[in-house]
Amino acid sequence: MPETPLYPGLSPISTPLSDPLLEVDAVDAFYGDFQALFGVSMRVEAGAIVAVIGANGAGKSTLLKTIAGLMAARRDAIRFAGAAIGGGPAYATVARGIALVPEGRRLFPSLSVEENLLIGGQLGRPGPWTLVRVYDLFPVLAERRRLPSTALSGGQQQMVAIGRALMSNPKLILCDEISLGLAPIVVRDIYARLPSIVAEGAAVVIVEQDIVQALSASSHVYCLQEGRVALAGAAGALTREAISAAYFGV
């Protein structure tokens, strides 16, 4: 029997006004003895685009892998849609609605383009994204759906990787360095599709080396430095000086 709130519409005082979709609370992450994250906290509201920036080795990819359940973590360090999910397993995390677009795309080479998309949707989570909708978003993939994924250009492979994540109908999609190794015009093309992804109701976390790209695409920014949050705030409110200080630690 759920408790009826005394004043409908008002949340209890102890929690913020709106519970975030994702709440990372002081998470640590380790590769063997090496500690990659030190007490990192972040919040992602439903439908928001949040950017995580930082230099190489700052822990950006590790943070996304930790959220996706690929790294060991305290159970309550990651809360998603009200449930404590820290530490995975990753296959259960995706079933809850978190999809990761891994760094370097990591398509399945022995699967065709269409099979790569289909396997992304194999859990059958209900939602707006279907094969047809993904082909609408990236029409070039429809023409090449029978080809092996390795036969595509880098930008097209990145589209497959994003489409594969969308096929699971995630509430939160984590994009790790989607501009890596791509021509600027292709990067712009891919970023231009982000609003239509958010319009379908998914929140997006982007990890990005290109600060200008990250700031223009996102509403909130977290800057990591050596495994710690060095700066966080609304994308419009951060000055260039503050960002370079947080980025380079000078």
Partner 1 sequence: MTEWINAIVQGVLIGGLYAMFAAGLSLIFGIMRLVNIAHGDLIVLAAYIALVTATTLGLNPIVALVIVVPAMALIGYGLQRGLLNFTLGDDLLPPLLVTFGLSVIIQNGLLELFTADSRRLQAGAIEVATIPVVPGISIGVLPLLQFALAVAVIAGMQFVFYRTALGRAFRATSDDPAVAQLMGLDNRHVFALGMALSLAIVAIAGVLLAVRTNFDPAIGPARLIFGFEAVIIGGLGSLWGTLLGGILLGVAQGIGAELDPGWQMLAGHLAFLVVLAVRPEGLFAKIRG
Where along the sequence are the contacts to partner 1 (CB under 8 A)?
A: 68, 70, 89-91, 94-95, 99-100, 102, 106, 108-111, 115, 118-120, 122-123, 164, 168
Nearer to partner 1, 20 or 120 (CB): 120
For residue 245, give Cα distances in angstroms to 37, 53, 122, 217, 230: 19, 13, 44, 21, 9
> Residue 73 carries which side chain, given as an amino acid letter?
A
> H or E element: which one contains 139?
helix 139-143
| Shortest reach from residue 53's CB to partner 1, in Å | 23
Nearer to partner 1, 178 or 246 (CB): 178
| Shortest reach from residue 184's CB to partner 1, in Å | 27
Q: Give the residue among 117, 188, 172 at the shortest CA–CA distance from 147.
A: 117
Sheet order of strands, 83-84 included: 34-44, 22-31, 78-80, 83-84
Report how far residue 114's alpha carbon sits from residue 132's, in angstroms, rounded to the nearest whole number. 11
Nearer to partner 1, 27 or 70 (CB): 70
DSSP character for 240?
Answer: H
Nearer to partner 1, 23 or 176 (CB): 176
Sign of CA dihedral 145, 187, 23, 27: positive
| Shortest reach from residue 22's CB to partner 1, in Å | 16
Nearer to partner 1, 149 or 225 (CB): 149
| Shortest reach from residue 89's CB to partner 1, in Å | 7
Do 73 and 29 contact (CB within 8 A), yes or no? yes
| Shortest reach from residue 204's CB to partner 1, in Å | 16
| Shortest reach from residue 125's CB to partner 1, in Å | 9
Do 69 and 92 contact (CB within 8 A), yes or no? yes
Nearer to partner 1, 94 or 206 (CB): 94
